[in-house]
Amino acid sequence: MDNGASSYHRFLEGDREGITELVDVYYDGLVLFLNTWLNNLHDAEDMAEETFVVLTTRKPEFTGQSSFKTWLYAIGRNVTGKFLRKNRRTVTVPPEDMTKLAESEQEAAGDFFADEEKQALHRCLVRLRPEYRRVLWLRYFESMSAKEAADVMGKSVHSVNHLTERARDALRAEMNKEGYHERS
């Protein structure tokens, strides 16, 4: 598939299978990316679903100025931003519920990251500042260029490059705490 654009185009022409393909390919990664904003896997799932609702109801035009994934993640970021602005209340979560939420996130990450080293990486990632998690997620897990990550995050390429460098340093420090050291 050519990064989702053909499936979306088919959907716009009436082929419902096109949207199903998009959900199959992008849903899990989108949920984990949106979770870097929300720190709540259930809300991240809701926002990912809402992102696909936007595609199916509003049918925004994909112009091809970026990759389909970049465009989709930017829509997800916008949907999530609206949700966060609308729900600016502070929720107090009991510690036992936080443990359950962390376990469910780890379980979801375990499904997404098959090997143990990647799961350890994810454990370290969730301990980073949200902005660091987002940029690392986009650059390395989603294989986006600095420009694509900048488009998704609403930042300049220069800012994303500096943010990536600081995030990598912070992740390296967390990985060292976890017992993983750089390979020579």
Residue 91: the pLDDT is 47
Q: Which residue has the higher pLDDT, 73 or 101?
A: 73
Q: What does pTM read for this prediction?
A: 0.77
Alpha helices in the chain (DSSP H): 5-12, 17-38, 41-57, 68-86, 95-112, 116-125, 130-136, 146-153, 157-178
pLDDT over threshold 90, residue 136: yes
Asked whether the beta carbons of 104 and 41 are under 8 A apart, the reply is yes
Amino acid at 46: D
What is the spatial distance between Cα 44 and Cα 82, in angstroms, rounded to a whole number? 13
